[in-house]
């Protein structure tokens, strides 16, 4: 009987020690540290165009075609959906889309085929483009009416040259600018 009493007493002491340890651990609490968090995403509208350069090859004395179509991707992340996104290509001046410094190829001799459509001269005007005040605008590349808040659109522009007279022999250079606006 003494043996059982010692065992029971030993078990009781063990239980009291365990309860004492568990109680002392459960009663320790740290302070609460708060961390403020912020995350701001600004609206964005971007245009990419590849390749970065093209070369025109004469098909006859009054016509030339571009070495490649220009792939255009317009991407947007706007504050709200339902707005409009417009992408256009333009030249700084109507008189000289391409020039050698003296001789000019006017924008009216540059034709743009958008996504395989009929080529039209780059003679449009009065299009409000936030990036610049263009001199001569090609047919609209993309006109997204009521777009979702986030999205992107891919297009293709194939340029060609057509002149009412023979192109004078020289080396011409110029830049076409592609830009988008969200309204």
Cα–Cα distance for residue pair 65/67, rounded to 1 Å: 7
Do residues 64 and 172 make contact, with C-beta atoms less than 8 angstroms apart?
A: no
pLDDT score recorded for residue 26: 66
Report how far apart, in Å, the C-alpha atoms of 42 and of each of 76, 136, 144, 159, 178 are.
11, 31, 20, 34, 22
Do residues 98 and 104 make contact, with C-beta atoms less than 8 angstroms apart?
A: yes
Asked if the model's pLDDT at residue 171 lies above 70, the reply is yes
Q: Is 121 helix (H, G, I), strand (E, B) or coil?
A: strand
pLDDT digits (tens, 9 = 90+) for 47-74: 999 999 999 999 999 999 999 999 999 9
Q: Is 54 helix (H, G, I), strand (E, B) or coil?
A: coil
Cα–Cα distance for residue pair 49/76, rounded to 1 Å: 15
Q: Is 122 helix (H, G, I), strand (E, B) or coil?
A: coil
Specify the DSSP element, H or E, that contains 23.
Answer: helix 2-26
- The two structure tokens encoding residue 175: 């830049």
pLDDT digits (tens, 9 = 90+) for 9-43: 555 555 655 555 555 556 788 899 999 999 988 89
| Structure confidence at residue 77 as a pLDDT band (50, 70, 90) | very high
Global pTM reads 0.76
Higher pLDDT, 13 or 167: 167
pLDDT digits (tens, 9 = 90+) for 127-159: 555 445 556 788 889 988 888 889 999 999 999
Do residues 98 and 64 make contact, with C-beta atoms less than 8 angstroms apart?
A: no
């Amino acid at each position: 009987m003494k043996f059982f009493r010692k065992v029971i007493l030993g078990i009781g002491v063990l239980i009291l020690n365990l309860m004492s340890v568990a109680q002392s651990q459960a009663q320790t609490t740290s302070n609460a540290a708060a961390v403020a968090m912020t995350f701001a995403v600004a609206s964005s509208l971007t245009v990419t165009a590849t390749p970065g350069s093209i070369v025109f090859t004469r098909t006859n004395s009054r016509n030339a075609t571009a070495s490649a179509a220009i792939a255009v991707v317009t991407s947007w992340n706007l504050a709200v959906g339902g707005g409009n996104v417009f992408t256009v290509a333009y030249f700084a001046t109507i008189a000289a889309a391409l020039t050698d410094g003296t001789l000019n190829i006017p924008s009216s001799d540059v034709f743009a085929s958008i996504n395989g459509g009929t080529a039209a001269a780059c003679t449009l005007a009065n299009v409000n483009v936030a990036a610049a005040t263009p001199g001569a605008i090609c047919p609209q590349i993309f006109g997204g009416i009521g777009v979702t808040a986030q999205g992107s659109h891919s297009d293709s522009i194939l340029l060609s040259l057509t002149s009412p007279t023979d192109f004078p022999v020289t080396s011409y250079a110029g830049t076409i600018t592609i830009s988008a606006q969200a309204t």
